[in-house]
Amino acid sequence: NVDSVVFYDMNGKQVNSAKFGVSTKNEIIRSALKGTESADIIKLSGEIYAAAAIPLKHDGTNILVAYALAAACDEELVETVYNYTNFDFTIFDGKKRLYTSLEGMQGTNIANDSIIKKVEKGESVFVEGVLNGKQYLSYYFPLKDSNGNFVTTLFMGEPLDIVSHLV
């Protein structure tokens, strides 16, 4: 599902009504204004989006740029990852669990924020600890944009009682 679509003329002026979306110019849009399709992951107001811009042509000449945003990290993604892997999955906004499969933990903050600080620096962190009253083997890792810049922290984890059954 596309959350918004914005059209720009080749001078970079938005030409559609703001009711269909508003965007500040960014590298994705600037690239499309130069004639190159571009896409990336971006963070706006705490939410993660897939953003794409394409130049629209008429008789081989660029006439408009279409820029679209779609939610990329939401409850649907959490549910999909959980269903495919059977691992708990969380998308953070800073220290806060924005979306999570951990029952009753959505909107709560991580207890050990040093994990988030490490991930924000680009590190992945393995931790064995208690979550939601259960012992977990946890993996925290960064989601980065196409330039390698940190966007947010992601978590995947498995209760140790399940892990010990597999060993």
Q: pLDDT tens digits for 35-51?
A: 999 999 988 888 899 99
Per DSSP, the residues of 37-89 read -EEEEEEETTEEEEEEEEEEEETTEEEEEEEEEEEEESHHHHHHHHHHH-SEE
- d(Cα 135, Cα 32) in Å, to the nearest integer? 48
What confidence tier does 165 reach under pLDDT thresholds 50, 70, 90?
low
Considering the entire predicted model, what is its pTM? 0.82
Token pair 């390698």 in the structure block, residue:
148
Mean pLDDT of 114-133: 94
* Buried/exposed code over 128-163 (b: 16+ C-beta within 10 A; e: otherwise): eeebeeeebbbebebbebeeeeebbbbbbbbbbeee
pLDDT at residue 2, as a whole number: 82
pLDDT at residue 166, as a whole number: 55
Residue 87 has pLDDT above 80, yes or no: yes
